[in-house]
Amino acid sequence: MTYLKQAKLGAPITAKQTAEILACVDELCAIGAGQNYTRNPNLCGTWRLVYTTEKEILFIVQNAGIVNTRADKIFQVLDLRDKRNHTVFNTISLMPKPEKWVEGMSPADVVFGAFYVVGSLRVQGPQRLKFSFDEAMLKLRDRSLWLPPFGRGWFDVVYMDELVRVTRDSRGDTSVFVRQGDVEENEFGGLSITSEIAMPLARLLGIEP
């Protein structure tokens, strides 16, 4: 986890740091080889992204200042409890830049917005999940921008334990997630999400938690 703290999600990061992280990922892949993760109930829940090579996410992290914000935590919620309808919910919370904070405010009070995508999942093997995003939205305090659905492909859960999940996808990107606490029953389009982000997202999206 030391490497991941230095990496800051992957942006900015040196070639040496990237090589060290990916070497650790290779070791975890070897440990996870042959495991059936897509049928493991521990896959469901809220996961926080701590490292990725995915260019779209890194672009948002690096360029959130365009809308006078900074990218904060990035979460992924996986729900495979329904035998027919499996869902994925990705969200990037956007916070004001430090100079925009007001003394005495809590993080929940100053959440400035969120970028999120919602999609469907289909199990394709013991480690592979096919995904297709159905909608995307950039929600700020004073405006919302619906974006056309984008993104489809697959990702392999190459390693997972009670704390960490590592994935590699159809474009060759690697992502590392850590489990984000207990999942609580706050409804976001049928998905469960942790209380840490449920309240600010509910206020932003106009959903009653």
pLDDT tens per residue across span 105-117: 555 555 567 788 8
**Cα–Cα distances in Å, from 169 out to 53, 61, 110, 153, 207?**
10, 20, 34, 8, 31
Task: For residue 116, give the CATH number of its domain.
Answer: 2.40.128
Banded model confidence at residue 190, pLDDT cuts 50, 70, 90: very low
Q: Who's near 32: CB < 8 A, 6+ residues apart?
A: 127, 157, 158, 159, 160, 166
Higher-confidence residue of 76 and 65: namely 76
Question: Cα–Cα distance between 36 and 166 in angstroms, integer?
Answer: 14
* pLDDT at position 51: 87
Most confident of 8-12, 147-151, 201-205: 147-151
Residue 132 has what pLDDT? 93
Place of tokens 């995307």: 136
Quote the mean pLDDT of the chain. 75
Ranges assigned E (strand) in 58-151: 69-79, 86-96, 113-123, 128-140, 144-147
pTM of the model as a whole: 0.74
The string of pLDDT tens digits covering residues 153-180 is 999 999 998 888 999 999 999 998 988 8
- How many distinct structural domains can be found in the chain? 1
Q: What is the pLDDT at residue 15?
A: 81
Cα distance between residue 123 and residue 131, in whole Å: 9
**178: domain range?**
2-205
